[in-house]
């Protein structure tokens, strides 16, 4: 079946530091890949997405590139801010072995950015 593995948290950084959150996946076919963000007390929000190999998704200074050869979709940001503190979820959209398409999430990575 489909699965998403992302780096264990929590991740704690100082403001303006470089961020990488690793994400790898297992899927049949050609999935679409997503990063969602969840701020405290809120629901998830779509951060960025990529629908085919070598696509780069970007939003709010965050970027991730769909790497089919390494089955990865790592999230990066060059300079984090305190307001980026949240839980980040990697996800893939694909059908699993003949079943219906659905969004499969990783377990989430908590990011805390200190001033």
Nearer to other proteins, 19 or 89 (CB): 89
53 makes contact with other proteins (CB under 8 A): no
And the tokens for 95?
């059908």
Q: Which residue has the tokens 């990865």?
A: 72
102 makes contact with other proteins (CB under 8 A): yes
Residue 82 has phi, psi (to 5 degrees) of -55, -35
Size of interface with other proteins, in residues (CB under 8 A): 21
Which string of b and e fits 66-87 if b means at least 16 CB within 10 Å? bbeeebbbbbebeebeeebbbb
Q: Is 48 helix (H, G, I), strand (E, B) or coil?
A: strand
Single out the residue of 49, 57, 64, 111 in contact with other proteins (rule: CB under 8 A). Answer: 49
32 makes contact with other proteins (CB under 8 A): yes
Stretch that binds other proteins, among 55-63, 66-74, 75-83, 95-103 (CB under 8 A): 95-103
105 makes contact with other proteins (CB under 8 A): yes
75 makes contact with other proteins (CB under 8 A): no
């Amino acid at each position: 079946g489909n699965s998403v593995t992302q780096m264990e948290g929590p991740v704690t950084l100082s403001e303006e530091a470089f961020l990488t959150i690793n994400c790898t996946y297992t899927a049949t076919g050609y999935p679409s890949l997503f990063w969602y963000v969840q701020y405290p007390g809120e629901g998830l929000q779509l951060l960025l997405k990529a629908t085919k190999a070598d696509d780069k998704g970007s939003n709010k200074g965050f970027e991730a590139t769909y790497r089919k050869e390494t089955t990865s979709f790592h999230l990066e940001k060059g300079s984090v801010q305190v307001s980026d503190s949240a839980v980040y979820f990697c996800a893939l959209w694909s059908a699993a072995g003949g079943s219906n398409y659905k969004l499969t999430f990783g377990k989430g990575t908590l990011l805390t950015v200190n001033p």
